[in-house]
Chain A
Amino acid sequence: KQEVTQIPAALSVPEGENLVLNCSFTDSAIYNLQWFRQDPGKGLTSLLLIQSSQREQTSGRLNASLDKSSGRSTLYIAASQPGDSATYLCAVRPGSSNTGKLIFGQGTTLQVKP
């Protein structure tokens, strides 16, 4: 059974700091892995999607890496800003197809202090 774990559960950093969020999964048989952002009481916004054959993806100040064999992904946020404060969720799509469910971690709640 695939399980996704995110550490830490919460993180508070001063503005400008670089930071890393961690995601681990128990079964390496995944189709892709996705990082989402969720603002309080809101839906999910996709940040980055990494296919199982890829090692990393970058978008602006965000960089996500994937090590499928070790069951780990990291989301690196450079030069953090107060507007980055939100909950970050990672999700894996199990199996070999681009359809089907996503399995989510419990999220890391980030607070960036001015």
Chain B
Amino acid sequence: DAGVTQSPTHLIKTRGQQVTLRCSPKSGHDTVSWYQQALGQGPQFIFQYYEEEERQRGNFPDRFSGHQFPNYSSELNVNALLLGDSALYLCASSSRQRGIQYFGAGTRLSVL
């Protein structure tokens, strides 16, 4: 049984570009949450998707958007990249019933 998988593993972009990160949830999970983890900090909640809708959002600008597909996989999109967007982006999946979040290995985004 595959756990939460994220792609790509690493990504390098320049300021102003746009990026899309992908997440496949653990089998049986229907909810996907995204977090941003800056170096030396704890993860910060970006948003959560369930039934293809954004259900909860953290304190992130509209440049951060997402999508959930009918197969429960999810994308995180970031527009107009800033240097400060450099971070490890973590995806967590859970079932609505149990709520325990399982994390993927993350995507390391570097903005130059």
What residues of chain A have their CB less than 8 Å away from a CB belonging to chain B? 4, 6, 36, 41-46, 49, 89, 91, 93, 97-107
Number of B residues near A (Cβ < 8 Å) is 30
Rounded to whole angstroms, the CA-CA distance of A104 and B4 in the bound complex is: 20
Contact B48 A101 (CB under 8 A): yes
Contact A89 B108 (CB under 8 A): no
Residues of A within 8 A of B99 (CB): 93, 97-99
Contact A41 B42 (CB under 8 A): no
0/1 per residue, B35-46, Cβ < 8 Å to A?
100001111110
A-B contact pairs, 20 of them (CB 8 A): A4-B42, A6-B42, A43-B4, A46-B100, A46-B102, A89-B42, A91-B42, A91-B43, A97-B99, A98-B100, A100-B48, A100-B55, A101-B45, A102-B33, A102-B43, A104-B43, A106-B40, A106-B41, A106-B42, A107-B41
Interface residue B58 (Cβ < 8 Å from any Cβ of A): yes
Interface residue B103 (Cβ < 8 Å from any Cβ of A): yes
Residues of B within 8 A of A91 (CB): 42-43
Interface residue B104 (Cβ < 8 Å from any Cβ of A): yes
Contact A101 B102 (CB under 8 A): no
Residues of A within 8 A of B35 (CB): 102, 104
